[in-house]
Structure 1
Amino acid sequence: MLRSYYGQFLFLGIYTGITLWIFHQVYHTSQQVIDEEFHLKQGKYYCHGQFDIWDGKITTLPGLYLISAFILGPFGACSTYALRLISLVASIANVCFIFSIRRMVTGIRSERKVHLECMSLSILPPLYFFSHLYYTDVLSVTTVLMMIFASFKGMHNIGALAAFVAILMRQTNIVWVVFVLGSNILNCAMTICLANKKSSGKEVQRYGMKSLITSVETIIRSPSIVITILRRCCSLYLGYILNMIGFVIFLLYNGSIVVGDKTAHVAAIHVPQIFYFTIFFAIFSGSHIFSCLRRMLRFVRKKWYITVLCCALFVVIVSKNTIVHPYLLADNRHYTFYIWNRFYGKWWFARYLPIPIYFGVIVILGWMLLGNSGQQNIALSLFWIAATFVSVALQQLVEVRYFILPFLVLRLIQTSVRVSTKLLVLEFIINVIINVATFFIFATKTFHWANYAEPQRIIW
């Protein structure tokens, strides 16, 4: 047993050592980065027990600050260094969850390819960078991964508790609670409809599209089975349901999903965000893109009429639904500012040029999620699609951090695409190079804003 975990322990040790060294370098380079201006101040208030003070510019619930107060408050360790350590420790926990979830999904404990894939996901550049700062993102990922892990283990009370904390971290995490609850209910329904007596509810099911169709036919023939499904689901997943009810009450009371400055984050349908996500996926999932490239090109050649129709539709969507948030144009401390101003927004035709890439990646995502190999869990796929659309396509601001959870969850749950060891090594190396370049730019590229004394730096 220990031998099967040797690779994980070795990587975890190396990861911790290198990350801690980089953490020190980042701390000595800058002790306040962009939105840390608000997070650090609020975290220190809570850490010192001043729970009655709240900065109205903060738009998330106080999960990060409450956890900081719970862990650091008793020791009086409320410095910037200590607060940032919360993210570093959370990133180490993320490594463990990534390995554990991927093993459960694949059913493989020690295969080299599983280790390589988990190593690559653990250093996903946008997520890894924020492991060194006091932002909500890393701990938000931790709580969502904990919820998914507990759900896959059948420990739904713990999963429901993790869901509650995940919502406290970021309200938008409610979509991942729906992902967990909905996929569990659908899997439970298929188990009952298919009379799968071998299922214990403590393993990741392999129900595919055929199982879903058979289950629907069973319900149509015997509608009374729905009562059995509801009874079972209410018993097993009550904790998640209570989280959903609590969130609806919060929405009714608050009048919006956003707390604080609601004007800066107004929800709107912004479908091109899905297209931007495909670029994100292509950059950080080279192993899967290259594995499916030939198959995708054959599809484009043989189904050329579908390709033409979809690309024409994408042109219309880009033309009519592209939203340019004021923050995107104003804040030159983010990579998205430079991508937009030097490409998408520079020439009128530039935003249409990547459309073939959007289509190609969407085709690949379709195979990953809805492939007929019989290996991919259809419930996880369908609710991933729903959760990703809601969490990404309802955001006006183009923000790389919005893509982290959809990306990670997809890579963790997919089983349809098999990749080679060489491609996974290449993906890992690319992630390392991007991380090195990101930290180099952060450390060396500075500029000044009129209303800030300290130099500003570029981050994701």
Structure 2
Amino acid sequence: MDTLGAVIGGLSCLVAVAVNKAVPDPYLDEVFHIPQAQRYCENDYTWDPKITTPPGLYYLSKALLRYLKCSTISLRGVNVFGVCVALPLVLRLFPDSSPSSSVTHPRGRLSARTVVMLQLFPTFYFFGFLYYTDVWSTIFALLSVALANSSSTALPVIFVKTAVGLCNLCLRQTNIVWVLYAFLTELLALLVYPDEKGKERADDAVAPNRTVYAIGSAFDVIDVCLTVVRRAVARLMRSDVKRRRFWRIVGGYGVVGTVFAAFVLYNGGITLGDKDNHVAGLHIPQLFYFSVFTCILALPTTFPQLSRTLTALLVHHPFAFITTTSLFALAIKFTTIAHPFLLADNRHYPFYVWRRIINRTPWSRYALAPAYVVSMYIVFVRSWRRERFVSALAFVGACAAVLVPSPLIECRYYIVPYFVWRLRVAASEAVDENKEKKQEREVREWCELVWYLIINVCTIGLFLGKTFEWSQEPGVKQRFMW
């Protein structure tokens, strides 16, 4: 499998050469990022007000290219390095099984096959060859989530987690959500879930340990949430060790939260620049789009669940299905946002998805509501059926916090949520499998890897091989991209 990783690295270098040969000049958002990074490399820290993200990528590029010229090629190479080297190293920090099963299942590292598969995740992989902020902001967001799996509260570990959290803020403001998600993960492991090494107490078998499938009503949700609070308080009260660990965790993440709050107050909002075109809103369908995106990109994993999902929704719970579909239709009616960038820029795939599918007719967006219910069920229920409900709820909340305020439909915004979702699915599937199920999972992952390769060949090939021109910019080649 290390050989496969080396092959992927070699092919990625060839793709990078092809991209730089076909597109030697900054393209699209690169026209903002590359000149800004080059100014930083020359110790000129004047800021372009059109840039909406913090300067973390520019400082990182300056450090990595200390002895090289900050050309377009070398700056893009910073992201290629992230895809081929940094991401696999971070992914290897993730366990191969869910923390909920640490008692019954030895927790090793994520398999090399899964690492290579995620390395090729199409949206992430595509932007690895351009100078966008997505590659390194994703890497650091995942690093925060990975470090949260460590139960150590030694001061050096807390310092590292705090430093990584601050780096997240320097790369992308919305990464604060994934830092908070990591914080919740640590608190749940410390105060709610069973103690380590199998030393479970009597209360470890009750509500907070219910899986997603064990939730049957809103009353169950309330019961779980209230029990989580009661258990957390009780454990804090009766254990001096847990109290010390709790305050160390809170202290580390508290520094990150304080810095973020100070930034928002000083900046007058979360957006750094171009605030007129990046106004937060209430865009609930973003969760629907993400679920469909996830089902399609993880097709070898999600498609086998379609039959059981339809049976569960249409046969066993038809009233719940109709009610949920109606609520989704209302959310579509009152919270759908069509951003001017989406309507005007025909270089991005969402432009065509919006025009030819979602908004093709006055009623087409509502006709998709049943499909959204099915995809949401597959992503948040079927795929996470072995997860504890509280962990799943924290993930849904993080997805909502990242996606719902965004008025613009961008596949790039789905990268980190997808990675976190897919990693937890892989960990959940690895628990207590017999030999036959393990082989089935391996086959699905190989199929998913091939599926990613097919999508990458199509999208990168289209980007390199198909160009067009705008009438208002004659002679300038435009290209299709995510």
Q: TM-score, normalised by structure 2?
A: 0.84
In 2, Cα distance between equivalents of 1:380 and 1:286: 24
- Report the Cα distance in structure 2 between the residues aligned to 1:334 and 1:320, rounded to whole angstroms: 25
Equivalent position of 2:338 in the other structure: 324
* CA gap 1:425/1:386 in 2 versus in 1, 3 angstroms: same
Task: Give % identity.
Answer: 30
Shift of 1:144: 1.3
**Equivalent position of 1:403 in the other structure:** 414
Matched, 1:364 2:370: no
Structure 1 residues 71 and 218, CA gap change in structure 2 (3 angstroms): closer
Superposition deviation, residue 98 in structure 1: 2.3
**CA apart distance, 1:290:** 2.4
Whether the 8 Å contact between 1:181 and 1:241 is mirrored in structure 2 is no
Match in the other structure for 1:81:
73
Alpha-carbon offset, residue 333 of structure 1 = 1.2
Query: Residues 416-431 of structure 1: matches in 2 within 5 Å?
Result: 416-417=428-429, 420-431=441-452
> In structure 2, what is the equivalent of residue 4 of structure 1?
none
1:102–1:413 CA contact under 8 A, matched in 2: no
CA positional deviation for 1:292: 2.0
Report the residue type matching 1:90 in the other structure.
Answer: G
1:173 maps to 175
Q: Which amino acid aligns with 1:294?
A: S
Q: 1:452 to 1:124 in 2, by over 3 A?
A: farther
Q: Kindly tell me: are residues 226 and 248 of structure 1, through their superposed partners in 2, closer, same or farther at Cα, counting changes over 3 Å?
A: farther
Q: Which runs of 4+ in 1 moved over 6 A?
A: 210-213, 220-223
Amino acid in the other structure paired with 1:459 = M
Name the residue aligned to 1:275: 288
User: Deviation of residue 188 (structure 1)?
Assistant: 1.2
Output one character per residue of 1:90-124: Cα deviation in whole Å (capped at 9) or x when no partner.
Answer: 1121123224315364856589xx44433322111
CA distance in 1, matches of 2:231, 2:47: 53
1:225 positional shift: 4.9
**Given the superposition, is the C-alpha separation of residues 97 and 219 from structure 1 closer, same or farther in structure 2, using an over 3 Å criterion?**
closer
168-177 or 182-191: bigger deviation:
182-191
Change (3 A) 1:224 1:125: same
Q: Considering only aligned residues, what root-mean-square deviation do their CA atoms show, in Å?
A: 2.6
Partner of residue 261, structure 1: 274
CA deviation map 1:252-277 (0-9, x unaligned): 11111001111111111100000000
Name the aligned partner's letter for residue 250 of structure 1: F
Rounded Cα–Cα distance in structure 2 between residues aligned with 1:369 and 1:220: 31
Q: Secondary structure at the match of 2:346?
A: coil
CA 1:368–1:180 in structure 2 vs 1: closer, same or farther (change >3 Å)? farther
Q: TM-score, normalised by structure 1?
A: 0.88
Give the equivalent residue in structure 1 for 2:401: 390
Q: How many Å separate the matches in 2 of 1:287 and 1:363?
A: 16
- SS, match of residue 455 in structure 1: strand
Q: What are the ranges of 5 or more consecutive residues in structure 1 without an aligned counterpart?
A: 1-6, 200-206
Residue 227 of structure 1, CA deviation: 8.8
Query: 1 CA distance for matches of 2:20 and 2:95?
Result: 32
Distance across 1 between alignment mates of 2:372 and 2:240: 42
CA distance in structure 2 between the partners assigned to 1:129 and 1:19 by the alignment: 10
* Structure 1 residues 209 and 224, CA gap change in structure 2 (3 angstroms): same
Q: Corresponding residue for 1:69?
A: 62
Matching of residue 55 in structure 1 with residue 55 in structure 2: no
Is the CA contact 1:61–1:171 (under 8 Å) kept in the aligned structure 2? yes
Q: Which residue in 2 is equivalent to 1:24? A: 17
Report if the CA contact (8 A) 2:192-2:232 is conserved. Answer: no
Seen in structure 2, the aligned counterparts of structure 1 residues 164 and 219 have a Cα distance that, compared at 3 Å, is closer
Q: Map of 1:129-278 to 2, 5 A cutoff?
A: 129-153=126-150, 154=152, 155-190=157-192, 208-209=209-210, 215-218=228-231, 224-225=237-238, 231-278=244-291
Conserved in 2, the CA contact under 8 Å of 1:56 and 1:261?
yes
Structure 1 residues 129 and 305: CA distance shift in structure 2, 3 A: same
Shift in Å, 1:19: 0.3
Partner amino acid, structure 2, of 1:326:
P
Q: What letter is aligned with 1:47?
A: C
More displaced stretch, 117-126 vs 175-184: 117-126
- C-alpha separation in 2, matches of 1:334 and 1:295: 34
Residue 123 of structure 2 is matched in structure 1 by 126
Distance in 2 (CA, whole Å) between partners of 1:103 and 1:70 is 33
Q: What letter matches 1:235 in structure 2?
A: R
Q: Residue 149 of structure 2 aligns to a residue in which SS?
A: helix
Aligned-pair distance for 1:142? Answer: 1.1
Cα 1:26–1:219 change in 2 (3 A) is closer
Distance of aligned partners of 1:142 and 1:221 in 2 relative to their CA distance in 1, 3 Å threshold: closer
